Chain A
C-alpha cells in the first residue's frame, strides 16, 4: 500500500508498510532510537544504524532520500580532523605543551590547575574534546600524584574547560560542526560570534574553582621540585613528525580562516590536510610500511562516531520528511508567541539542560531542521542567526552540567577511576550543574545584548 506525502513544494512518494501513517512510524522509530541511545545499553552506532535501516526498510524514506539526509560535510570534517589528530598526537607535542605549561608556573598547584585548564580549553577549540582530555588527563594524574594533591579539582577544571573551549570554534565540538555545515557558517563566523564570550565564561568558572579549591592547594617544595625535574622534551618522540604535523595543522587552520575567499568547504580542507599529513609522514616509508602506517592511522579514526552520525542523519531525515519536525517547530513558535528573543533564549536553555543529561549530538541533529523550518516565521533564514548561536552555546556548554553531559567528561571519569580516584556522579553534578547554569546566564546576557 502506498501513501503520498505532500512536503512543501516537493512531492515524495512514501511506501510505508501496511499503509501506516509515516508520521507515527517515523516518530516511534525516532523516539525508540533516541531512548536507546540515551540508555547507553546498546552501542550508539548500532542503535543509530538500526534506526536508520528501519526508516528505509519500513518505507518512511527511500534510499535516495536517506542518503540525501547524510551531511557529508560534517563527516568529512570529522574524519579529516580525526586523521590529523591521530598522527599529530604521536609526536608528543600535546604532552610537551602540558608539562611545559606546568613548569612555567614553578609547579605551584593553583598555577598548574590554571595553566592546564587554559591548555585544555585551547586544545579543545582545535581538537575534539575527547582527544584533548585523553591527552591532558594522564599528565594531570601524574602531576597531582607527584604533588601529593587530590587530582579531583584539576580533573574537574579540565572537564569544564574542555567543554567551554570546544564552544569557541567550528571544529571544537561536533554540534558546532553540524550547525556550521547545515547553515554554511564558516570557521571565522564561529570565531567572531562564539569565541569572544568563551574567555569570559572560562574566567568566571576558574574564579569559582579558585574560591572552592584553589586557595587551599599546597604542595611541598620537594614535590614541586619533582615536577620541575620533568623532561617535557622527552615527550617529543618524533621531531620530524612534529614539524610535519605542526605545518599541516597551521595550513588547515589557515585554510579554515580563508575558506570563504578560497571557496572551499571545511570538509575539503580537513580531508586535504589529512591526506597531506599522511603523505608527508610516510615519505620515508616503503610501500609495505606505508600500508601498515595508513592502516594504523585509520584504525585511530573513531568509526563508531562516524557511523553514529550517518545513522542519526538518516533517522532525523525520516522524521523531517514525515513532517514531525515541522510540527515540533510550530510547537516551539507557539509556546514563544513567535518572539525571536524568547525563542532564542528558550533554545539556549533547553539545549543546555538537554545536553547536560543526554548526548548533545542527536539533540542538535534534531534541532537543526526544527530551527530551519522556523525561517518563514521570523522573516527568512538570515534572521535565524541568534537561534543558531543559542543552539551552539547551549549544546556545547550544557555538557558541563553532569558527568554524562559529554563524552569527554566520562573519559576523564574513567581515567580517574582506573587510577583509584573515583569521580562520583552526584559529587560532580552538585558543583558542575550550578556552574553550567551560571555559564548559561552569561551566555543569555551575551546573546541578548549582541543579537536581540
Chain B
C-alpha cells in the first residue's frame, strides 16, 4: 500500500472561502481540516474544523469548567446560534500555521510515524508545493480492513 492509495483529494481553502464551504468540504472528505493556499498558490497555512469551532463557541473558561455544568447550561445552547452567525463569513480569520505534510512517494509507515510524532490524526500530501490530498487515520483504517479479503 502506498500513500496515493490512501490519500483523499480535497479542495484547498483560499481567501474568501466561506466557513460553510469549508465545513461541507471537510465533511465530504472526512478531513479535520484543509490546507490554506495563498494568492500565489503556495500552501501558507491550514484551517481546521476544531479551531473554528473552538474560536466561535468554546471559550477557555468553558473548557476549564466543563465538569461543573448542569444539564442545560446556556453556554451550550448558544453554540448553534454562534455557528449560524459565521457560516457565511470568510475563513480567513481562522488560518493557522501550515500543518504537517509529506510527499506522495513516502511510505505509509512514515506518514503514520509523523502523525504519531506530532500527535495528530491527519497529514497533508504535498509534492513540490502542489497539494494532492489528505491522509487520515480513519481513511487508513478503512483501507486496512480490506487487507484480509481477496483483491
**Interface residues, chain A, CB within 8 Å of chain B?**
92, 95, 99, 137-142, 145-146, 148, 223, 226, 229-232, 234-235, 237, 415, 418-420
Contacts and interface: CB of A to CB of B under 8 A. Distances in A.
B67 A145 contact: no
Contacts of B128: none
Interface residues of B, number: 15
A142 B74 contact: no
Contact of B61 (A92, A141, A232): A141
Interface string B35-78: 00000000000000000000000011110110111111111000
Given A141-B61, A415-B60, A418-B60, A234 B74 contact: no
Interface in B6-59: 59
Main secondary structure of the interface of A (DSSP, over half): helix
Q: Which 8 A-B pairs have the closest CB atoms?
A: A229-B70, A138-B61, A141-B61, A138-B64, A419-B59, A234-B67, A142-B65, A230-B68
Given A138-B64, A141-B59, A141-B61, 10 more contacts: A99-B68, A138-B60, A138-B65, A142-B69, A231-B67, A232-B68, A234-B67, A237-B67, A418-B60, A419-B59
A420 B73 CA distance: 19
Contact of A137 (B61, B62, B71, B74): B61
B74 to A, nearest CB: 6
Contacts of A138: 60-61, 64-65
B61 A235 contact: no
B57 to A, nearest CB: 11
B60 A234 contact: no
Main secondary structure of the interface of B (DSSP, over half): helix
Contacts of A140: 61
A234 B68 CA distance: 5
Contacts of B67: 92, 95, 231, 234-235, 237
Interface string B80-106: 000000000000000000000000000
Given A142-B75, A145-B74, A146-B74, A415 B68 contact: no
Nearest to A234: B67
A226 B68 contact: no
B69 A419 contact: no
Given A142-B65, A145-B75, A230 B70 contact: yes
Contacts of A234: 67-68
Nearest to A420: B59
Contacts of A92: 67
Contact of B69 (A230, A415, A418): A230
Contact of B65 (A139, A148, A223, A418): A139
Contacts of B71: 229
Contacts of B59: 141, 418-420
A95 B65 contact: yes
Most interface-central of B60, B68, B73 (chain A CB within 10 A): B68
A92 B67 CA distance: 10
A226 B73 contact: yes
A141 B72 CA distance: 17
B65 A231 contact: no
B93 to A, nearest CB: 14
B60 A146 contact: no
B58 to A, nearest CB: 11
A147 to B, nearest CB: 10
B60 A231 contact: no
A142 B62 CA distance: 6
A297 B44 CA distance: 37
Most interface-central of B60, B61, B62 (chain A CB within 10 A): B61
26 contacts: A95-B67, A95-B68, A137-B61, A139-B65, A140-B61, A141-B59, A141-B61, A142-B61, A142-B75, A145-B61, A146-B73, A223-B74, A226-B70, A226-B72, A229-B72, A230-B70, A234-B67, A234-B68, A235-B65, A235-B67, A415-B60, A415-B61, A418-B59, A419-B59, A419-B60, A419-B61
Nearest to B69: A230
Given A142-B75, A146-B75, A231 B61 contact: no
Nearest to A232: B68
A230 B62 CA distance: 13
A189 B150 CA distance: 82
Contacts of A226: 70, 72-74
Contacts of A223: 74
Contacts of A231: 67-70
A230 B61 CA distance: 14
Nearest to B75: A145
A359 B75 CA distance: 37
Contacts of A146: 73-75
Nearest to A99: B68
Nearest to A225: B70
Contacts of A141: 59, 61
B40 to A, nearest CB: 32
Contacts of B70: 226, 229-231
A234 B65 CA distance: 10
A235 B68 CA distance: 6
Nearest to A92: B67
A416 to B, nearest CB: 9
Nearest to B59: A419
A226 B71 CA distance: 9
Interface in B98-141: none
Contacts of A99: 68
A142 B67 CA distance: 12
